[in-house]
Amino acid sequence: MAEISSSLEDYIEAVYSIYTKDNKVKAIDVARRLNVSRASVTEALQKLEQFGLINYGHYGTISVTEEGVKKAKEVIGDTPIEIDYTLTLRPASLARLLLENGFNVVAIYEDCFAGEEEEDFKWIQENYPNLKIYATVHVKMRFVNRKRDEKLLALGQKAAYFTGSNNFVNIIEGGGMYGFSGIIKLCDLMIDAFLNEKDMKKLIQFKGLGCENYETNCK
């Protein structure tokens, strides 16, 4: 996918925000939200449709395409997924997004959740109380089992390190990806990581070897 400008990102963020709240979007809704003209909205939406991020129908009706997410789910299936805070500053939000789309997220590595994640964290507590939270600064992390009997997809370097998985997405703090288009790009990286192993020990720095961790249930 070609790079999307920051102004177009504002439009797709508006579309996605309205869509997730109301399950429907019209061009006039976007115009009101961004305080721009209908003509500007129409031009931007047509470009987003060319990128394959939305469907822009008659009478200003908009629907969000989720083909990238669906494709990733078809490839990855029910493979366990573990996420850490080095990949994204909002791991709970990413976990919720993946869980809502049927992915099997089983653990999050995070030392302190940001206030912006409170709603997503509570949602996980209520809907997935057995999802594990690992605080990477706890002393017990010295003794965590770094071998898994089954294939596991790690999202982030710490998740890869603590699970010993060679199937991992190797980016830091979002890798410069942003917004809805960033989610689609992440799905592509997840597919690639699932299908192609990396040399985890070679790629990841070991200055954190022996760092501490504690495992709790999300209750």
Mean pLDDT in residue range 179-208: 77
Q: Of the ranges 43-47, 48-52, 68-72, 130-134, which is most confident? A: 130-134
Strand order in the sheet with 132-135: 168-169, 153-155, 80-84, 104-109, 132-135, 214-217
Q: How far apart are CA 58 and CA 204, in angstroms?
A: 50
Condensed to tens digits (0 to 9), the pLDDT of residues 73-91 reads 888 999 999 999 988 888 9
pTM: 0.67
**Confidence class of residue 180 from pLDDT cuts 50, 70 and 90?**
low
Domains of the chain in sequence order:
6-65 (1.10.10.10), 68-217 (no CATH)
Please name the residues in contact with 161: beta carbons below 8 A apart, sequence gap of 6 or more: 146, 200, 204, 208
Q: What's the token pair of residue 214? A: 């504690």
For residue 82, what are the contacts with CB-CB under 8 A and spacing of at least 6?
Answer: 105, 106, 107, 108, 109, 152, 153, 154, 155, 159, 162, 163, 165
Query: What tens digit of pLDDT does each residue of 102-142 get?
Result: 899 999 999 888 888 888 999 999 999 999 998 888 877 77
